[in-house]
Structure 1
Amino acid sequence: MIYKDSEVHFNISSQIKRSITANIQFSTQDIDTAKLTFSLTKDGVPLPISQATHGKLFMRFADGSKFYVNTEVKDALGGVIFYVLTSDQVTHYGTVQAELYVNYDNGQKLSVHKFSFEIDRALVDQDIAPVAEYYVDDFESLKAVIQEMADDAEQVLAELQKKFENLDNIETKDGAQEKADAAEAGAKAYTDEHAAKTDNPHKVTKAQVGLSNVDNVKQASKADFDGHVADTANPHAVTKAQVGLSDVDNVKQASKAEFDTHNSDNTRHITADERTKWDGGQLRKLTDDSGKRTQVADGADLLTLSTGFYFAVGNTVQNNPTTNDSTQFTYDVIESDQGRKTIYAWRTTDNTLWHATVIPDTAFKGWKRVITDDDFRKKTFVDTYDFDNSAFTATEGVVTKIKFGAARADDQSEYDQTKSEITLKNSGLYLVRLYISATAIPSNSDIGFICYVNDAQYQTMGYWYPSKSTQTNVVFLQQKFNSGDKVTFHIFPKVTGSTPSSVSVKSAFLTMSQIR
C-alpha cells in the first residue's frame, strides 16, 4: 500500500504540555492514503504497548464533525501506532483538533498529547460541502456523543430562557420554564432510549439524531413570545421540531452484513493469537534503539553488565581480558536465573576470543583465551635439514656461529639462511634439537654448544668429548623464548694442543618447534 505518511513523536510525562501544531497537511483527495504515525516514548525509552487494549484517537473537524476511533499497532515493542483516515474523514477540510490516548488491559488509561493538523480542500472538491457527522468505535462512546448532542440542545434552551428573565409576568415566566423543563426531560428520555440500543451501528450524524437544526435556532421577538405565552389552550406542549429533534425517528441501523464485515476486519482488529504473542514478547532491551551494540561507559566494570550486547575500547573499562589495550572489543553478556553470568569478549582487530563466568559471592577466576586451529598453524616450526650447504670450520678457543643450510620447513618465515638466524614471532616454550657431524677432530677435545639470543650468550646446551676424529653428536634444549628474539647457535672447541687446532664440521642441521 502507498501512504502519505506523517510521523509524530510524543513523550509521555506529567509536565505541562500545550497542544502542538503538527507540520502535517493532507488533501481531500488523499483517499485511504492519509496516514498518521505516532512514536511514543516514556522516560527516554519506547512506551510498551504490548499490554495495551488499544490506542484511541479523538478528532474534531472544522465543520463540527467528531470521530473517536481505534488506532492500530505498527511496532508493539517500539511504541509505534498509526491510523489511516477514511475516505469520509478526509472530506472534512480545515484544521483538525485531535488528542491521542492509550488504554491498557488492566483498566489504566493514558492521555498522550493534544495536537492539530490540516486538510486542504482540493480544487476538484470546491463545490462539495461535507455533511457534519460523528463516528465512534464502541457503544459507550456512542452514548456519550448522543448525550453531548442533548447537552447542546439544553444549552440552547437555557440561553432562550435567559433572554426572557426581565419579563414582568412572573407567572408567564414560570410557565415557560415548565415548558422548557418538559422539553428537556423529553429530549433526554428519548436520547437515553436510543443510546440503550446495543444493536445500533457506530456512525450517526447530527441530522440523524435530530440536532441539525440547533445551529439555526432563532431568537423570538417579544411579540412572538407574548403570543406564545398567551396561548392558554396549549400552554405547555413542545414538539420535537421545536427543540430540533424531529429527525430522531429516522436514525438508520446498519445491516448485519455490514456489521459482520467490520467485525471480521483483521487489519483493524488483532486476533487472540496475536494478542497472546505480543503479551508474551520479550520486553528487555538487548541493544540500543537502532539495533546496534550499546557502548560501555568509560570506567564501567565489565563484570557488572546486565544481559545485552556491548562494545568499548579495551583500556577504558575495568576487568578487560587484556591490559593497556587501545583496540576495540565487543562483549556478549548472558545472565542466568541464579545470578550467574557468562561473558564473551572479542578483540575486533584480530578476532581473538576470551570467555569468563561470574558467580555471585565468589572471587572472579579470570578470563580464558580460546585457542583456534589458526593458532596452531601459526606456531613456530623450523627445520634446516640441508647437509650439502652447512659445512664450516671452528677454530680452537674461538666461539663460532654454527652454519645451517636451506630450510626444509619454516612455517612462519622466521629463518634467515644467510645469518643462520631465527627471529621468533611467538612467545612460548620451544624444543630445540641440534645435530653436528664433524671430521678431523683433535684427540681429547672438549667442545661446547651454546644458544645465543640477540647476539648474547643465553644458554649452554651441552658438552661433547669425542672419542674419535670423525664423529656425530646431537644435543637438545627446552627453553622459553619471547616474540622478537633473534636466536643463533654456536660451537666452542677446546683442545689440548694436538693438531690440527680446529674442528672441521661436515654438516649441521637444526629443528626448532614451539610446544605451547
Structure 2
Amino acid sequence: MYKTGGIAFDINANRTNGRTTNIQFMTQDTGSAKLSFSFTKDGTPLPLSAVDAKIVLLYADGSFYKKSLTITDKMNGKAEYVLSDEELKHYGAVKAEIKLYYTNGQALATSFFTFSIAKTLEDQNIIPTADYYIDDFETLKDGINHTVEEISRTVEELQKKFADLEAIETKEGAQQKADAAEEKAKAYTTKHVNDQEKHVSAADRKAWDAKETPSGAQDKVNLHANNTEIHVTAEDQAYWDDMTRQFKAHNYNQERHISAAERKTWNGDATYANIMLKNGAAAGTRTPIYAKWGPLILLRGHVRTEPEIIFGSIPAEYAPAGGGVYTVPLSGTGGTANLIIYDNGDLKIKYPDPADSSKMGGGYYLDVVVGFQKGGTA
C-alpha cells in the first residue's frame, strides 16, 4: 500500500520555472510515501535503458539528499522513488529535481518541482537535524579531495606570508646599522683631518666645518628609526610573533592534518574482497564484494538468495557498531527489500516488497555505502 504522487516530464528545451504540485506526505507515512515519474520526449515515451536516474532533494531545514530512482519500466520511461523514514522527518516544503545520466557521458536535468511533508499530531515535538546524503561514491570522493586541496593551498599562502615577514627589517636592526655607519664615518673623518701630510685650503676647511655634527646625524637616525611606515612597531612585531606561534602549532597538529600515507589512501582506489556466501546463496550478474575506504564500508554486487536467512558475511571489524539496516532494490521487479548487517558481520535480506516468491527470483542488488562507526553502541 502506497501513497503515490505522480509527476510527468516532457524532455525538451522550453524554458520553465518549475512547478508546484499538490503532493503532500505525512511524517508517519513509513515506507509508503512514493513518487512516481513518467518521461516523454516529443509526445512519446522516453526509454530509460543505459540510464542512471537520480533524484536531488532539498528539504526546508537545509538537508540535502541525492539518491537513485528505481526504474520500473525502461521501455516506457517510468521510474519511482520511495522516501525513507529519515527523509520523512524533514517536514515542510521540499524542492526536487530529476537528473538522467547516460552511459555515453550525456546527462539531462528536468525542471524542478515541489511537494510537501506535514507533521502528524504525534510528531509535533520532533526537531530534525540537517542531513547531507549522496549515494554517488565518486561525487563524495571528489568533495573530500577538494577540501584537502583547499587546506593545502591555505597553508602554502601562510608560509609565503611568513617568509616575507622574516625579510622585514626590525627597528633594532635599523638602529644597529645606523650606529655602525656613524662609527665608520667618525673614524674616517678623524683620520683624514689629522693627516699632517695633507693640507687643506680655507675653502676646504670651511666645507669641512659645515659637515653635519654627530648630534645632527643622530637626530636623522632617530627620525628614520621611528618611521612606522617603513619599520615594524613593537606591537606589530608581537602580533606577528603570536601569528608565527599559532601557525607552527597548527602546522604540527596531527589531529587536523592528514599524513602522506593517509592522503595516498584517500586518493587511491578501494580494494575489494569477495563476500563469503552461505546457505545456498549465489552470485548473480555481479560478484558480491566489499571494501573499507576511509570512514566508509562499501558493498557492491548482485546476490541470489532466499529472504530471512543468513546469506553471507563480511569481517566483524568491518561491520558498523550495533549493526545497520539499508534499503536495496529487487532485481527485475522494481521492488525493494531491507539488507540487515549484523555487528558480527552476518548479512540477511528481510521484508522484500513485493513478497510474492514468484517475483523474487531475480535476486538483490547490494550497492550500498555504510558509515563506519568504531566503538560500542552507547
Bucket of the pairwise TM-score, normalised by the shorter protein: 0.3 to 0.5
Which TM-score applies when normalising by structure 2?
0.45
**TM-score where L is the length of structure 1:** 0.34
**Higher relative contact order (CA closer than 8 Å, sequence separation 6+):** 2
